[in-house]
């Protein structure tokens, strides 16, 4: 009998024993193509020797040193490399152990920034419906998925949520993509004015929405307008790239493709590629300078921030992404994956939308394609597809509640950047088997 507290008490997952490139292997020897990188984590696959060796070498020298007493060479090197490639204005790196820690730190830094600046009345955070920013109380408060929030509602912070930029559902007939993007962004200005600009500290959003909306991409011009609105009212822009960053969408930082830079940026998942738990909150020189000129102390911290072994892994992963030209490979393989999906599912009567960037792809499933009507949530379509795909030897990331936290189903795909052409076909074939078995 296992003493592990599992994600679901009525499920007994197989034991993973080995990784081999794009595959995971269980104790029975069955191979599973990792079509979602776990949760968009395993960008280098599961057996990258360079990263493994870097971890081993670091443990031989120094496994851990608490940041209350020391910094470390790998932490400094990783921070330098990140800033060398970061969006304009980003200057400091706060290393954490994962995505929820990164977004939690971002929210707290945004608040402390305004306190240090002498504007303590700025305490309100605006985020978007159908977003996901993590599972700690602060991060869950910022997230806008009602199913995930429901039972914890009494514990959550008061965060405002505006509609997402969701062209498939919200664009009007005859409305151009650009016009829709501007209309969707206007919701932020409206909410700032409703709350009172002097009370708003930050707006938080995913450049490409991951888990809760299935690789939902912004309309052209949306984020440029968001940046303008934030600047007009002095509101900090926090971008959550925990899932969509680190090359996943075809640029090292996802926001590069929208032509903007945030004030605070969160990354994780692909930064460690699954080899070590690591994430980071990056901030502008201006924000850091406010803390430095004020109290000098960011009132936050966890035991394992700046962990030397995790930082060594992150540095090895980031170096691999840059030196192996893997970002360009994401663009190439992403186009091929899109072609495979369009060929197999483009005319499927129960596929309403195919979307995404790079190797970050979403499939929105519908009961009726002409009307876009979703499946009855009681059917549990997403969960059944996940199970059927797993039985077929494919790991993918189906989720329900795509539209409003209850209605709608999608499949998220985020395979390793090293995926080969024949594996893209294998992914598509096995996914089709699962979809056909369930629908």
- Sheet with 264-267, strands from edge to edge, namely 90-96, 279-284, 264-267, 236-240, 200-205, 124-128, 160-162
Distance separating alpha carbons of residues 35 and 427, to the nearest angstrom: 6
Q: Which residues sit opposite 266 in a β-bridge?
A: 240, 281
CA triplet 15, 17, 19: central angle to 5 degrees? 125
Structure tokens at 315: 């540095």
Q: At which residue do the structure tokens 């016009």 appear? A: 179
What does pTM read for this prediction?
A: 0.97
Asked whether the beta carbons of 105 and 181 are under 8 A apart, the reply is: no
200-205 and 264-267 as β-strands: parallel, antiparallel, unpaired? Answer: unpaired
- Closest by Cα among 186, 222, 158, 165 to 355: 165
Note the pLDDT of residue 297: 97
pLDDT at 429: 98
Rounded to the nearest 10 degrees, the angle between the axes of helix 308-323 and helix 49-61 is 150
Torsion of CA 353, 355, 361, 367, to 10 degrees: -10
Contacts of 85 by beta carbon, 8 Å cutoff, 6+ apart: 252, 253, 322
Give per-10-residue mean pLDDT for the chain (439 aa).
91 96 98 98 98 98 98 98 98 98 98 98 98 96 92 95 98 98 98 98 98 97 98 98 98 98 98 98 98 97 97 98 98 98 97 98 98 98 98 98 96 98 98 97
Q: How far, in whole angstroms, is CA 219 from its chain's centroid?
A: 18
By the 10 Å C-beta count (0-12 exposed, 13-18 middle, 19+ buried), 433 is classed as middle
Q: How far apart are CA 153 and CA 326, in angstroms?
A: 41
Report the pLDDT value the prediction gives residue 292, as an integer from 0 to 100.
98
- Checking 285-293 for CB contacts under 8 A at 24+ apart, the result is 285/89, 285/91, 285/92, 286/89, 287/92, 287/109, 287/113, 287/236, 287/263, 288/91, 288/92, 290/113, 290/116, 290/117, 291/109, 291/112, 291/113, 291/116, 293/116
Query: Residue 48's pLDDT is what?
Result: 98
**Cβ(355)–Cβ(412) below 8 Å:** no
Q: Write the secondary structure of the chain as one string of H (helix), E (strand) and C (coil).
A: CCCCCCCCCCCCCCCEEEEECCEEEECCCCEEEECCHHHHCCCCCCCCHHHHHHHHHHHHHCCCCCCCCCCCHHHHHHHHHHHHHCCCCEEEEEEECCHHHHHHHHHHHHHHHHHHCCCCCCCEEEEECCCCCCCCHHHHHHCCCHHHHHHHHHHCCCCEEECCCCHHHHCCCCCCHHHHHHHHHHHHHHHHHHHCHHHEEEEEECCCECCCCCCECCCCCHHHHHHHHHHHHCCEEEEECCCCCCCCCCCCCHHHHHCCCCCEEEECHHHCCCCCCCEEEEEEHHHHHHHHHCCCCCCCCCCCCCCHHHHHHHHHHHHHHHHCCHHHHHHHHHHHHHHHHHHHHCCCCCEEEEEEECCEEEEEECCECCCCECCCHHHCHHHHHHHHHHHCCEECEEEECCCCCCCCEEEEECCCCCCCHHHHHHHHHHHHHHHHHHC
pLDDT value at position 1? 82
Strand 124-128 and strand 31-34: the pairing is unpaired
| pLDDT at position 364 | 98
State the residue for tokens 């899932």: 243
């Amino acid at each position: 009998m296992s003493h592990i507290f599992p994600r679901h008490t009525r499920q007994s997952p197989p034991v993973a024993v080995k990784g081999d490139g794009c595959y995971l292997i269980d104790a029975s020897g069955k191979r599973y193509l990792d079509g979602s990188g776990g949760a968009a984590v395993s960008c280098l696959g599961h057996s990258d020797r360079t990263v493994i060796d870097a971890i081993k070498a670091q443990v031989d020298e120094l496994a851990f040193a608490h940041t209350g007493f020391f910094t470390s060479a790998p932490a400094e090197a990783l921070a330098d490399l990140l800033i060398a490639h970061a969006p304009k204005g980003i200057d400091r790196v706060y290393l954490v152990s994962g995505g929820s820690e990164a977004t939690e730190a971002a929210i707290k830094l945004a608040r402390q920034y305004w306190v240090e600046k002498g504007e303590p009345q700025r305490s309100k955070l605006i985020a978007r419906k159908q977003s996901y920013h993590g599972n700690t109380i602060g991060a869950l408060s910022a997230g806008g998925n009602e199913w995930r929030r429901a039972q914890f509602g009494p514990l959550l912070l008061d965060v405002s949520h505006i509609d997402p930029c969701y062209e498939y559902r919200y664009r009007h007939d005859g409305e151009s993509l650009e016009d829709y993007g501007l209309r969707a962004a206007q919701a932020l200005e409206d909410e700032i004015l409703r709350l009172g600009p002097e009370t708003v500290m930050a707006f938080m959003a995913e450049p490409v929405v991951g888990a809760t909306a299935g690789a939902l991409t912004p309309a052209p011009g949306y984020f440029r307008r968001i940046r303008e609105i934030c600047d007009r009212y002095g509101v900090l822009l926090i971008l959550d790239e925990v899932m969509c960053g680190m090359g996943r969408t075809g640029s090292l930082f996802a926001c590069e493709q929208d032509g903007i830079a945030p004030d605070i940026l969160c990354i994780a998942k692909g930064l460690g590629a699954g080899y070590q738990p690591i994430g980071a909150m990056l901030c502008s020189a201006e924000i850091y300078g406010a803390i430095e000129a004020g109290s000098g102390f960011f009132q936050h911290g966890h035991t394992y921030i700046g962990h030397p072994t995790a930082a060594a892994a992150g540095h090895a992963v980031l170096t691999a992404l840059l030196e192996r030209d893997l970002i360009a490979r994401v663009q190439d393989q992403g186009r091929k994956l899109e072609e495979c999906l369009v060929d197999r599912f483009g005319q499927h009567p129960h596929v309403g939308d195919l979307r995404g960037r790079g190797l970050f792809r979403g499939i929105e499933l519908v009961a009726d394609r002409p009307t876009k009507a979703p499946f009855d949530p009681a059917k549990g379509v997403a969960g059944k597809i996940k199970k059927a795909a797993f039985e077929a030897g494919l790991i993918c990331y189906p989720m329900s509640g795509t539209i409003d936290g209850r209605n709608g189903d999608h499949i998220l795909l985020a395979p390793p950047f090293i995926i080969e052409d024949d594996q893209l076909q294998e992914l598509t074939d096995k996914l089709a088997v699962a979809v056909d078995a369930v629908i």
